[in-house]
Homo-oligomer: A and B are copies of this chain.
Amino acid sequence: MAVTQTFQRLKPPKREKILATAIHEFARHGFRQASLNRMARMSGIAKGSLFQYFGTKEGLFRFIFDHAVELIRHNLRRVKAETADQDFFERIRSSLLAGVAFIRQHPHIYQIYLKMLFQEDFPFREEFLEKIHLFSAEYLTPLVEKGMAEGDLRPDLDVDLVVFTLDAVMDRFLQAYCVPFLDGNAAVFQAPPQRVEKQVGDLVELLRSGLGARSGGTRLAMNE
């Protein structure tokens, strides 16, 4: 167990304060460079207590990590359920908007995610990489399969390749759209809402014209 009962039994405000401070610190500095000294100072908690609760720095990070995974998993499930009756490209649009909303709400967690992606000396990196494959494996794949079954997608496409491509494009869109709003210091994320609708819309239209069943830019052109 990465965290003691002692911590779980703390009064919620204190627990939240510690959690928030730790997430903030790891988001700003990554794992190795994060300082327990700073965390203790900023959360007003004794340094020794942190060790009592989490054993080691790694134990604390483990706790944050699990917490974040849970948040994300829960979010994906919710979006999946709420969009079950939409057409394929609508679901993609909704997923992207949900992604932006999530990052807007939890910017620090997204920063930790970005850091973990390529920072090899994070602990659990292997496990982390496996877990984010959830997105493709558990989220996108069924979506694409359903989309093909229901005729929203061109029937000649390879499912895995489509999943790969969508994953790449969507992930990169989130990065391209959100990173500029992540303040280097804190988590100030305020993107103008009208712009994101437009940009997501354009991207989804491109995907639809390339992958959609009734697609084919030329034909549309000829029709006009």
Contact = CB atoms under 8 A, between A and B. Distances in A.
Interface of A: 28-30, 32-33, 111, 114-115, 117-121, 154-158, 161-162, 164-165, 167-169, 171-173, 176, 184, 202-203, 206, 209-222
> Binding site of A, secondary structure by majority: helix, strand, loop or mixed?
helix
Contact of A161 (B118, B167, B206, B212): B206
A139 B4 CA distance: 53
Nearest to A165: B169
4 closest cross-chain pairs (CB), A and B: A216-B217, A210-B210, A216-B216, A215-B216
16 contacts: A28-B121, A30-B119, A32-B33, A117-B118, A120-B184, A155-B217, A157-B209, A158-B206, A168-B168, A168-B172, A212-B216, A213-B220, A215-B215, A215-B220, A216-B219, A217-B218
